[in-house]
Structure 1
């Protein structure tokens, strides 16, 4: 077939899929469609080194721009895919033109949840951190002495808080749940990062929601909080979760449920349409799963590329994640979903520790704070299905290498 493999969404997953197709010997046309004008780039540094000015734009790119020419991968940037027509094997663009495809890969990613305009979400000075435009808009406001309100105590919010505090801003994080990181981590990890931020001058207010943002002349000036207090603010960063970009798939009649439903090959309800990355909801170990990580974007996209060319193995990810806050690198191996007990293991160096997650007595995940060995050994053990005695793990004098030998 002469029609190209078309990839909609120009991020980490799209570049990985295209590269894998070429590595596996596919020599036909590959077209990447991206709504942004920038070539595929890494998103995690946006809320950290890029927004702080430590990382140049060129270093964000997943591949050098020359790679796309060398590998004959067509980039159509600044182009919006308005609709897909699976029966006709067509992608329709905003100007009404259409492109036929042999197979279509949706790597449309996700978008941040935004505050409604009714509570001030449309005021100038209110930001999310998801793409280059967001980071570029925020950067000039990160000036020493400014008052920043971070709404949401998840990883994105805490990373932004850390960058701002290091640049001399007065930072307050509000979290409506009982504790920061409640959705993604156990209490010992929350306790660790709460103490870390407070020691660096960040104010953490848990069990505190947002009533509304207020402004003067359309510009943010402060926030009314759920406890009745008022907090002055020059800018606000909203980190209250993300939503999968599954609208194109839904409008095309593809099966959608908290993301684009795919099988173990990454195939949607249409045999010639696939999905990978944040937008894909896939079966894993008896449950439907969406993984929001760079690792998954790369691995699943590569898996889809192989499936398009005939591979039949189901996708079986080995989840890992990370977060950089101040001088602490948090490394996470496994998925702590459904954990029923944890073990806190103090590190031998000041300010280091690891938290180990168990479900029905089996080790399923580990959080390692500046503990590279705990992360590496834990990741290897989890992937191999090895277990550990919680009592032995809790003893900082025990030898991790011996425990997982």
Structure 2
């Protein structure tokens, strides 16, 4: 039996609060939560990226991470929302004589590390997953080895599915954390071993088949069959389509295929970029997208100059608005990044079989040892053209249950789904949304009939500064600001038709937790109330 630790007095833990306390002899911190009078004890760090959960919030019986909004049931630490993959380790706790006592196992001294190997291999708490059962002869095929496919496979086993699960990926790698590519991985702070979401061993233990380097070429809805390049077809009883996106390569641009002109979508792309920029002095990034700007932050180093070419006046103008865009541009310029704004590329120039420069319509020529294409992605749905009437952008329309056709569901970058708040059909290329899609789609493949109702949430990090965004606003009538955008300490509320439809923030993590929750419930204050001075933190 583990020894009990006299952690703290009862008065140190008010109702509804999260508090972290050290343990003796430089032991691990323990997170305490008091909910409806009951005390609960957990590991103090989020199993996703190691965020201090004491800086999060306890909302309606759930512990919500302050960084990326992973969510855990306060009753037992069960994972209820990604991007974490694992339950929160829970410890035995009791309260007696106005003291709180806990039992902490030795493995609890391993805080989550975003650059470590997957938690499945270092003692993290895994959800209770089932393995395949010979009695269940069904086959569920998941096309896509990204966020949606990986989370769907995990969910199917958690929900007790005993049939065959096949995860099909066009990449020759186990599903990995794509969010690190343009950040820690490109900056050299995350190594290849830190990239997989789970190791091969995880999939083997739970009898999930990985079909890697497999490119789908077609779908026959009548036969329930997916065809592949150089592989036999796969029959399915239920199918999840989550192939993700394909980077735009500017095929009509002269010189687009020169060596040294590189996209950034896959780990192989990032490896190629790391090799190409090792000795590069001039790096030009075409596009001021989140990937482009994060890449600029990661590739900037001593002795290397980075220039971003943007079609807009400031980065993110159409997504976040001119004020926030100007703040990010100033942040990059302070670090030494150059900008060519409202610019158009007319050609990529080369010599001796390698890119050497970028020609702008203005006549300006930018020298370049490497050119990074950060001009967005398109849904990887070419193989679905015979089976579905796709949207103009290549997206696939689904209903509120993420169903595209009988026995067929879609998730992640390709899914155009109805936003719960407005009913508007929307396609969102966010990591956490893809994971949430994967979970809901998996449950519906099992007949649960669960609507997707979560408010979208994403984040970006540049030079250690994090912006968080909840909701979705393709357009807006106005933006209401609380705080100081230039000082990276603000909340921005996006208003459309007298309703708040989205919000962005920096340095307001706790407020953002509440906002995302209320946004999902349709309980946000009116724009008029915010204009009249209502302070968000007081809600």
TM-score tier (shorter): over 0.9
1:351–1:103 distance in 2 versus 1, CA, 3 Å: closer
Distance 1:198 1:128 in 2: 23
Partner of 1:98: 233
Question: Does the residue aligned with 2:413 lie in a helix, a strand or coil?
Answer: coil
Q: Does 1:211 align with 2:364?
A: no
List structure 1 segments (4+ residues) > 6 angstroms apart after TM superposition: none
Partner of 1:363: 500
Question: Number of aligned pairs?
Answer: 399
User: 1:19-98, aligned counterparts within 5 Å?
Assistant: 19-98=154-233
User: 1:94-133, aligned counterparts within 5 Å?
Assistant: 94-116=229-251, 118-133=253-268
Match of 1:159 among 294, 297, 303: 294
**1:143, 1:169 within 8 Å by CA — same for their partners in 2?**
no
1:145–1:77 distance in 2 versus 1, CA, 3 Å: closer
Q: Does 1:330 align with 2:467?
A: yes
Match of 1:256 among 381, 387, 390: 390
Partner of 2:272: 137
In the TM superposition, what whole-angstrom CA distance separates every residue of 1:246-295 from its partner, at most 9, and x where no partner exists? 112213x2231131222222221x30221111011122333211111111
**1:377, 1:400 within 8 Å by CA — same for their partners in 2?**
no
1:93–1:12 distance in 2 versus 1, CA, 3 Å: same
Match of 2:448 among 311, 318, 324: 311
Question: Does the residue aligned with 1:343 lie in a helix, a strand or coil?
Answer: strand
Structure whose residues are more often helix by fraction: 1
Partner of 1:225: 360
In structure 2, the gaps of 5 or more residues are 1-135
Distance 1:170 1:95 in 2: 43
Distance 2:433 2:478 in 1: 26
Partner of 2:107: none
**1:12, 1:294 within 8 Å by CA — same for their partners in 2?**
yes
Shift of residue 117 of structure 1?
Answer: 5.5
User: 1:340-355, aligned counterparts within 5 Å?
Assistant: 340-347=477-484, 350-355=487-492
Q: CA RMSD in A?
A: 2.1
Match of 2:524 among 379, 386, 397: 386
Higher RCO (Cα < 8 Å, 6 or more apart): 1
Distance 1:188 1:44 in 2: 25
Question: Does the residue aligned with 2:358 lie in a helix, a strand or coil?
Answer: strand
The normalised TM-score by structure 2 is: 0.70
Shift of residue 347 of structure 1?
Answer: 4.7
Question: Does the residue aligned with 2:363 lie in a helix, a strand or coil?
Answer: coil
Shift of residue 305 of structure 1?
Answer: 0.8
Distance 2:417 2:457 in 1: 17
Partner of 2:45: none
In the TM superposition, what whole-angstrom CA distance separates every residue of 1:130-172 from its partner, at most 9, and x where no partner exists? 0011000001233476111111111111101111124542011
Distance 2:487 2:417 in 1: 40
Question: Does the residue aligned with 2:186 lie in a helix, a strand or coil?
Answer: coil
**1:150, 1:237 within 8 Å by CA — same for their partners in 2?**
yes
**1:34, 1:79 within 8 Å by CA — same for their partners in 2?**
yes
Match of 2:304 among 150, 169, 172: 169
**2:253, 2:348 within 8 Å by CA — same for their partners in 1?**
no
**1:344, 1:394 within 8 Å by CA — same for their partners in 2?**
no
**1:352, 1:369 within 8 Å by CA — same for their partners in 2?**
yes
Partner of 2:513: 376
In the TM superposition, what whole-angstrom CA distance separates every residue of 1:336-391 from its partner, at most 9, and x where no partner exists? 23311112222599542332211233222221123323422332332332215567
Partner of 1:297: 434
**2:511, 2:537 within 8 Å by CA — same for their partners in 1?**
no
Question: Does the residue aligned with 1:48 lie in a helix, a strand or coil?
Answer: helix
Distance 2:200 2:481 in 1: 45
Distance 1:9 1:160 in 2: 24
1:350–1:91 distance in 2 versus 1, CA, 3 Å: closer
